[in-house]
Structure 1
Amino acid sequence: MARRRKGRDISGWLVVDKPAGLTSADVVNKVRRAFDARKAGHAGTLDPAATGVLAIAFGEATKTVPYVTDAMKAYRFTVRLGAETNTDDAEGEVVRTSDLRPDDAAIKAAISAFIGEIEQVPPAFSAVKIDGERAYKRAREGEELTLASRPLWVEELLLTGRPSEDLVELELTCGKGGYVRAIARDLGRALGCLGHVETLRRLWSGPFDAEEDGVSLARIEEAGDPEALDALLLPLEDGLFDLPEARCPAESVGRLKNGNPAPVIGTGLEYGEECWASHDGRAIAVGRWKGGDLHPSRVFHT
């Protein structure tokens, strides 16, 4: 018989305003200990030097992580022109330099090539797997890596400021799997001046916003007792923001929770469309709408 994991059986989302200097895993571990949570995970890694939205799911909310991970995200970042590093950010070693400094008009013109469906090669120092091993582990050992490009949807890339000749401020809105460091690297190459990320902040991720929802680690530490901590949580249903909702009659609740198809009440749904069913405002299951029945793929026990 498997041993039961220790900790409180809580469910919901916590939006941490991640500080610089910690890995995403460090933050999850700190938060899990503070809440004494049995189960926790995050939706989208941030580099250690980055700040901003790190959405952490507890308990049954971890079943909604894929929907937040797949969602659009927005970043504000600063690119330092004139130098390329081996990590594509300020943490790495400078490998090439340039004295060229393009003006704002040239930067805006170059940005247009980075909007829409683009191909992006991830940084060598990234969590991409090569033959089952993380790329960053090989890169740290000095191996020269050639990573395959990946498609990325860029909704928006804006020049928002120019603090100095060497610094450019940008805001990016993109889909799943985007590397801001790669945007900085490739933009620098396109301009002929080279570049790397100096500062990076995730402004929002799916339904979660740093300014409206973000909670600092200091505030979590100050909360202390479980009741005060739990008051910081957002409902697990927030993770289903991008799916249509159907209503689950009382007589269907048991069947869905047991993983069986059951009638639900939906409006405007197409056959085979993914949706979630609620009863009294609580998520019961996610599944496919088929002729008035929901065929569950995920069920929630809260």
Structure 2
Amino acid sequence: MSEQKKRVKRAISGWLVLDKPYDMSSTEAVGKLRWLMGAKKAGHAGTLDPLATGLLPIAFGEATKTVPFVQDGTKVYVFELVWGSQTSTDDTEGEVIETSDHRPTREDIEAALPAFRGAVTQIPPQFSALKVAGERAYDLARAGEVVDLPERTVEIDAFDLLDHTPERSRFEVTCAKGTYIRALARDLALALGTRGHVGALRRSRVGVFGEASAVDFAAFEAASPDERDAMLLPVAAGLGEVEEVRVDARQAMTIRLGNPVLLVGRDAPVELDPAWASTKGEAVAVGHVENGQFKPRRVILPSV
């Protein structure tokens, strides 16, 4: 009977910024944390490869309604590029398909990096989660098919060399959503007249969430149920890069019924998109302001 009580699904809401361990998929991580929390609903804000470590923000309950705002945020990665070999997956998981004896110098790399900052065109790796005719590219690639993935333009805010040896170098990248670090490593190596693949990858920031917010998986697993609950950040934590509109308790009730409210006061915005409404620091809804009215798109139910 006690085991059955442990498995009762809870309508718990909030964010947990997991420091995802190596060799765990994002889907597996969400499933494990959802089970540990006994949560009814959970999802993540941006896939992280199984061989990568680092920040995987996981939303529970009402926080899942704010996932797009975190997912669209700026990402920061630190990765190691192994010189001299290109793999089928552009990381250590795949088979070596091309090799080169050439090794770039630090000066060579520094001279090449400016071309990989700003708007950069890249072809995603064959082994990626992109869909082609309804199928995941990595499923088609594993079946032996050559996947024709179209070029895409991504935004690289910063791309810096941290350490360098003849065999591998370490970089930090600040980029927008949709950037493939594996493709960036592959293309940089090609531009330098050699071959390369990602040897290690860590994500250190996703939108508003940095490493200071991260929770170690083993520590979370070992914690008591009350300690796990205490690790959750509020739903509003995922909205730090969105303009906040403060409303009173009566307006909050109106908004949660799906209705607009007129914003009053000297500093009340007239037009704002996107925006989120709050009362006493708690998220009420995400939406926009039009003609001085806050209009909800997604209502966020109060914490219980």
> What TM-score results when the alignment is normalised by the length of structure 2?
0.94
Q: Which amino acid aligns with 1:223?
A: A
Q: Which moved more, 1:72-81 or 1:261-270?
A: 261-270
Other-structure match for 1:91: 93
Q: CA deviation at 1:131?
A: 0.9
1:273 match: secondary structure: strand
Q: Which amino acid aligns with 2:276?
A: W
Distance in 2, matches of 1:185 and 1:34, equals: 38
Do the aligned residues in 1 keep the contact of 2:69 with 2:238 (CA within 8 Å)?
yes
1:94-173 to 2 correspondences below 5 Å: 94-162=96-164, 164-173=165-174
Provide, for residues 240-280 of structure 1, a one-character-per-residue CA deviation record: whole Å limited to 9, x for no partner. Answer: 11111111122211221011111235847452522111111
**Using a 3 Å threshold, how does the CA distance of structure 1 residues 224 and 193 change in structure 2: closer, same or farther?**
same
Distance in 2, matches of 1:272 and 1:53, equals: 30
Q: Which amino acid aligns with 1:215?
A: V
Q: Which amino acid aligns with 1:208?
A: F
Other-structure match for 1:16: 18
Distance in 2, matches of 1:45 and 1:273, equals: 26
Do the aligned residues in 1 keep the contact of 2:268 with 2:292 (CA within 8 Å)?
no
Distance in 2, matches of 1:132 and 1:279, equals: 42
Do the aligned residues in 1 keep the contact of 2:73 with 2:207 (CA within 8 Å)?
yes
Distance in 2, matches of 1:6 and 1:48, equals: 29
Other-structure match for 1:214: 214
Other-structure match for 2:250: 251
Q: CA deviation at 1:12?
A: 0.5
Aligned residues: 295
1:172 match: secondary structure: strand
1:228-243 to 2 correspondences below 5 Å: 228-243=227-242
Other-structure match for 1:223: 223
Do the aligned residues in 1 keep the contact of 2:261 with 2:295 (CA within 8 Å)?
yes
> What TM-score results when the alignment is normalised by the length of structure 1?
0.95
Q: Where does the alignment leave 5 or more consecutive residues of structure 1 unmatched?
A: none
Other-structure match for 1:62: 64
1:180-191 to 2 correspondences below 5 Å: 180-191=181-192
Distance in 2, matches of 1:124 and 1:41, equals: 25
Do the aligned residues in 1 keep the contact of 2:14 with 2:232 (CA within 8 Å)?
yes
Distance in 2, matches of 1:249 and 1:51, equals: 41
1:37-48 to 2 correspondences below 5 Å: 37-48=39-50
Provide, for residues 26-84 of structure 1, a one-character-per-residue CA deviation record: whole Å limited to 9, x for no partner. Answer: 11111011100110000011111100001000000000100010000100000001110
Distance in 1, matches of 2:131 and 2:8, equals: 31
Q: Which amino acid aligns with 1:47?
A: D
Distance in 2, matches of 1:250 and 1:48, equals: 44
Provide, for residues 87-130 of structure 1, a one-character-per-residue CA deviation record: whole Å limited to 9, x for no partner. Answer: 00011000000000111111111111110011121101000000
Distance in 1, matches of 2:263 and 2:123, equals: 44
Distance in 1, matches of 2:241 and 2:122, equals: 25
Do the aligned residues in 2 keep the contact of 1:247 with 1:265 (CA within 8 Å)?
no
Distance in 2, matches of 1:56 and 1:168, equals: 31
Q: Which moved more, 1:5-14 or 1:102-111?
A: 5-14
Do the aligned residues in 2 keep the contact of 1:248 with 1:265 (CA within 8 Å)?
no
Distance in 1, matches of 2:14 and 2:209, equals: 13
Do the aligned residues in 1 keep the contact of 2:52 with 2:201 (CA within 8 Å)?
yes
1:158 match: secondary structure: strand
Do the aligned residues in 1 keep the contact of 2:90 with 2:183 (CA within 8 Å)?
yes
Q: Which amino acid aligns with 1:170?
A: F
Q: Which runs of 4+ in 1 moved over 4 A?
A: none
Q: Which amino acid aligns with 2:296?
A: P
Q: Does 1:278 align with 2:287?
A: no
1:21 match: secondary structure: coil
Other-structure match for 1:301: 301
Q: Could you tell me which of 31, 46, 58 is aligned with 2:33?
A: 31
Q: Which amino acid aligns with 1:178?
A: T
Q: CA deviation at 1:6?
A: 5.5
Q: Over the residues paired in the alignment, what is the CA RMSD in angstroms?
A: 1.4
Q: Which amino acid aligns with 1:218?
A: A
